[in-house]
Amino acid sequence: MKAPSSFHPGAPPAASQRRRRQSRAFTLVEILMAIGILSLVLTAIYSSWTAILRASKVGLDAAAAVQRSRIAIRTLEDALTCAQSFQANVNYYQFVAENGSEPTLSFVARLPQSFPRSSKFELFPVRRVTFFVDSQKDLLLQQSPILTEIDKDEKKFPLVLARNVQGFNMEFWDTRQREWVDEWKETNQIPKTLRLKLKIADKPNSSSHSVEEIMRIISIPSQSVAPIWQAPMGGPGGVRPGQQPPGTMPGPGGVPPGGALPGQMPMQPGMQPPGVR
């Protein structure tokens, strides 16, 4: 007697069923390929995001450098246009300018309230300002009242106007030679016109392609005040005793109108000069 057979008409073969069960899952090669594609996509996204951040940082640094250079040159212009000098006290009002590896520009000015650090020197609008470049290639500003020395705080913490300064050059217009000169010897006078050249780099030891050069020609409206205008005035109309008022001619004997010779009483209003009837 034969055993019952497991084969049923219309049923799929066993090999076919096995292939169907195997085709429902991913092979190892397919999984590795999917992981590789995903890695490439993530790498591309990360690279793009990194490039965006790098470009944004470069742009912000460049904008900050340009803004700082503008502030530095504006501060120099504001100080120079407010320069002052009095010939009677010229030792306190020297105009010192030196070029070289560590250039320096120092003078006295009556500064407005909008000038940097004016709140610190609120009671001293007339101050000596000193611009200089130190060994770290920073353009610094120090201030002090005209009759005092620079305090410890100002020496230790000067105001940084610009960093990575590659050049700070000054030229002065010589009215006699009719040309620009790079040396100012007349320290007791204020130059009429000054030409500034400021070079600022984006980074330390930067190439010449990333250096910004700014040039300004500044006409200084101030001039040294003569001693006669600095002396105090007195008497009627602001005229010193014994001084002839402006616009009047001396009377007979060199006596100004209304004056008197030594030993005589000065004329009162309504009186006639001696010898006049």
Structure confidence by residue, pLDDT tens digits, 145-176: 998 989 999 999 999 999 889 899 999 999 88
pLDDT, greater one: 259 or 34: 34
The one-letter code for the residue type at 21 is R
Q: Do 195 and 230 form a contact (C-beta atoms < 8 A)?
A: no
Give the pLDDT score at 13.
62
CA pair distance 173, 78, nearest whole angstrom? 19
pLDDT reading at 69 higher than 60: yes
More confident residue, 190 or 13: 190
Neighbour order of strands in the sheet with 159-162: 96-98, 104-110, 126-133, 139-145, 159-162
Whole-model pTM: value is 0.65
Phi-psi region of 38 (alpha: psi -120 to 50; beta: other; left: phi over 0): alpha
Check pLDDT > 80 for residue 204. no
47-62: pLDDT as tens digits:
999 999 999 988 887 7
pLDDT exceeding 90 applies to what percent of the chain? 44
